Each structure stands twice: as C-alpha cells, then as structure tokens.
Amino acid sequence: MKVNDVILKTVVRMVVFIVLTFGMYLFFAGHNAPGGGFIGGLVLGSAIVLLYLTYDIETVHKGMPFDFKKVAALGVLLATGTAIGSLFFDAPFLTQTDGYFTIPILGEKHLSTVVLFEAGVALTVIGTLVTIILSISEDE
C-alpha cells in the first residue's frame, strides 16, 4: 500500500523555506543580537534534516548534490583561514577588521571579516549535523 503524504510534503516545503529564512536571519543578526554561525548553522542544518525525514535520500540528493563531509571540511578551512589570515598582517590571532564600503547598486555597506569566520562555523555545523544524521540512518 502506498502512503499518500501529499499534505506532509506540501507543508514541509513551506516550513523548510521559513526555517531557512530564519536560519539566515540568525546567521546575519549574530553580530549585534543573539545568533551567529553556530546557531544559524544548527537551524539551517535542521531544515535539511527535515527534508531528509520527509523525502527519501535519493530525492534530496538530486536537489542538493553535496557531500556534507566536504561541506564541513570547507567550513573548517574557511574558519581557520580567516583566523590565521590576521597573522599575515602582523595582528593577533583571530583579529577582525571592518569598514564601510560603497558597493554599486547597494550603496554604502558595513563589511566585516567576522562574517567569513561565522560562515565557516555555519558550514562546519551544517556539514557535521547532516553527516551524523545520515550515518545514523544508514542501513547495515
């Protein structure tokens, strides 16, 4: 007997969009309010896990053909790269810099190197979370 889960799949599509939006908000709000790379990564990773729970692994892999171990490794490299990058400018380890830049169309924006570090943390958390969930769910 085939299970009719059209309602579940339709609701999950909307919920995943909302959760991904909230995760990005938490990621970018982390400098001035609670949030940041870790909690943003957890929320973004939970949206991906929700997709895996609703759909089968093959369907999700068609839409997101990522090896999440490589995503975690990229996140670690990005976070450590930005941390070590300060040493090349004779600044203490993990020193950040920021400034206001004029970007065409967007105007003047405040940019900081901390966003790169937080992106590395978020990618590491997403990759690790999804890898753990997928390894637990493997059949053997």
Q: Sketch the domain layout of the chain as residue ranges.
A: 6-137
Contact between 93 and 87 under an 8 Å Cβ cutoff? The reply is: yes
Three-class HEC string of the chain: CCCCCHHHHHHHHHHHHHHHHHHHHHHHHCCCCCCCHHHHHHHHHHHHHHHHHHCCHHHHHHHCCCCHHHHHHHHHHHHHHHHHHHHHHCCCCCCCCEEEEEECCCEEEEEECHHHHHHHHHHHHHHHHHHHHHHHHCCC
- The answer to whether 27 touches 40, Cβ cutoff 8 Å, is yes
Q: What confidence tier does 140 reach under pLDDT thresholds 50, 70, 90?
A: low
pLDDT in tens, 42-81: 999 999 999 999 988 888 999 999 999 999 999 999 999 9
Give pLDDT tens digits for 92-115: 888 888 889 888 888 888 888 888
pTM: 0.87
Could you give the CA distance from residue 45 to residue 54 in angstroms, rounded to a whole number?
14
In this predicted structure, what is the pLDDT of residue 21? 95
